[in-house]
Structure 1
């Protein structure tokens, strides 16, 4: 997933740099440049951070570092939502169900994301859709997480 996001960024003219950064900073985006903290432990974590920073490329404008401002928080949420939908589209929950994924750990592995990212994405989908949503013949429940398959 990380390599695919790197290619997408390159295709859009966004330069990616892996640099040592403070442990509290995982990634930054500014003017078609993304910095990823070189000390992130896994490629799954790097993919999650890169997806969010690409979300800023696609959805944000200006300096939004000051999260005490409502408009900046809205832009941050847009970027994160973009990342959730990029790495964890709802159809992937159905595919995981069809692949007999049994728990959240396996789902995170199936998607190539961190468990933290998975939990945040599920929470965002719950906020957006409520307790469940339907795709084709499948109902995705967010709490508890599961998929119901309907008959044709």
Structure 2
């Protein structure tokens, strides 16, 4: 089962009905309302994976209609829902796992997690907002800025 299919299964277990629909364009988009998610059928599976995660985030975090993104409160709810959706795709510790599995750049990491490079970049930018330029996770230190980097901590006094 692909990661997208696994996430579809999780969503269905949460009582969410998912349907793919032709939105008339190739845009990465979806829509959540009342335990139902519509996903653009014209996009790739990796794009659908990212869109589905975001819409599940709306299931947990959004109240009401937030389609008017000129409203400050709606923008804030959108950001909160996206962050929740990112949790279904990737956690910082998952980046370490990808690194240990041999992924050397953002393209390999995005392929490893079956998401687009744009979605991975969004997630890493969100990690920067949450954790700053870098953060220690387990015996690794992840650098988020200026570029993604990993350092193994072999001794608490030294980072390699």
- Scaled by the length of structure 2, the TM-score of the pair is 0.91
Superposition TM-score, scaled by structure 1 size: 0.95
Q: 1:91 corresponds to which residue?
A: 93
SS in 1 for 2:112: helix
Tell me how far 1:22 sits from its aligned partner.
3.4
RMSD: 1.1
1:75: which partner in 2? Answer: 77
- 1:20-45 CA-partner distances (Å, limit 9, x unpaired): 113246100000000000111x2111
Partner of 2:152: 149
SS at match of 1:87: coil
- Residue aligned with 2:88, SS: helix
Which of 115, 130, 133 is the equivalent residue of 1:131?
A: 133
Aligned residues: 151
2:109 partner SS: helix
Flag as ranges the 4+ runs of structure 1 deviating above 3 A: none
Inter-partner Cα distance in structure 2 for 1:27 and 1:149: 39
Any stretches of 5+ residues in structure 1 without a counterpart? none
Flag structure 2 segments of 5+ consecutive residues without an equivalent.
156-160
Q: How does 1:10-49 map onto structure 2 within 5 Å? A: 10-23=12-25, 24=27, 26-40=29-43, 42-49=44-51
